[in-house]
Amino acid sequence: MAVTIQRHHRRRFPTGLIAKHVVINLGVAIILLPLIWVLLMSVKSLPESYTTNFWPRQFDFSHYGFVLTRIQTLPQNMFNSIFVTLATVAITTFCAILGGYALVHVRLPGRMLLIWLLIASLFFPTRLLSLISIYEIQRQLGLLNTVVGLIFPYVTLNLAVSILIMRGIFEQLPHELVEASRIDGCGPWRTLFLVLLPLLLNGIVVVSMVNFVGVWGEYLLAVTLTNDQATRTLPVVLASAHSGMGQWAYPRIAAVYVIAVTPGIIIFALFQRLYFKGLTEGAIKL
């Protein structure tokens, strides 16, 4: 028996192994090539950008300086994106911590109903349907065409999933801790902020990442609710800059693109360990 298995393995070994690695590396190449292409595009000279060369003959790093100094609204657009993203991530994380805590550690009427509503909302095209009236609401509140105004609908984009993630994190916390804190005389608010908050790091990282990615690149609401170049965010600028001429020549848009994509990749690289830990801890059973 053992002999036949060994022979079986020896016969299949090379082809199987090679085929496996060919397929995997093909997958890796398919993922990486578009990103490498745009990176190389951002360092091509202007004339070369209209050719089909993959590898630039001559590296030209001037486009990064150009887009940051010569495209007038771009620093403003970047600021808009950073501002909206930081504000939304902070508010959503705060709401999600309180919400997750309420759904686990305090007695709350209608708790299960709320949880089911949150889960059900993940399957419903809320973002699409609410858009029609969000425009009207923003106008009535004087928030149309403002950067601050974007924060309100942005918070709701991933709020349900954020609360569910935080709920999962809270369920993992030892209940003895909460009880000990109660015996020591802490109310539910002080228990949350003084005792539990430091233990929520993984969850905060996951919720922040989810919201960062969702908001940093948000397009539909931004393009609908703002219309001046100065109030636009980076994704809207990038999506509308497609002429390939002048200040929006391909290497220049590519440079803006690289600037827009890099923060996410860096943040993720820094926090990926915490992120995966948080993601598994945040899991719940349906």
Partner 1 sequence: MTGRTAALAEVTVTYSGEAPMATVASRVASAARTWRSTYRLSDYANVLFLVPATFFFVGWQIYPIIRVFVLSFTDYKYLERNPPNFVGLQNYINALNDPLFHVGMLRAFAFTVAFVPLTILIPLVLAVLIDRVTTPWLSSFYRIILLIPAVIPGPLVFVLWKWLFDFQIGPVNTILVEWLGLFNRQTAPQWLGGTPLSLPAVVIMEVWWGLGYHTMFFLAGLAAIPKDLSEQARIDGANEWQLLWRVTVPRLLPILSILVVLRFGTAMSVIDEYLIFGGFQRTSPTYSWTVYMYDLAFRIGDWLQGYAAAIGWLGAAVMMVFVVGMLYVFRSRD
**Contact set for partner 1, span 41-70 (CB under 8 A):** 41, 49-52, 54
Residue 195 C-beta: closest distance to partner 1, Å: 14
Binding mask 201-240 for partner 1 (x = CB under 8 A): -----x--xxx-xx-xxxxx--xx----------x--xx-
Distances (CA, A) of 256 to 64, 82, 248: 7, 14, 10
Q: Which is nearer to partner 1, 78 or 238 (CB)?
A: 238
Backbone angles phi, psi at 58, to 5 degrees: -135, 130
Report how many residues bind partner 1 under the rule CB under 8 A: 113
Q: Which one of 28-36, 62-70, 72-80, 194-202 is the stretch in contact with partner 1 (CB under 8 A)?
A: 28-36
CB of 247 to partner 1, least distance (A): 16
**Is residue 256 within 8 Å of residue 74, measured between CB atoms?**
yes
- State the Cα–Cα distance between residues 98 and 54, nearest whole angstrom: 50
Site string for partner 1, 97-136 (x = CB under 8 A): -xx-xx-xxxxxx----x----x-xxxxxxxxxxxxxxxx
Q: Is 179 in the site for partner 1 (CB under 8 A)?
A: yes
- Measured from the CB atom, the residue of 58 and 112 that comes closer to partner 1 is 112
Neighbours of 77 (CB within 10 A): 23
Q: How far is the CB of 59 from partner 1 (least distance, A)?
A: 18
Angle at 179 between CA 174 and CA 184, to 5 degrees: 130
Report how far apart, in Å, the C-alpha atoms of 57 and of each of 44, 51, 204, 211 are. 8, 11, 45, 40
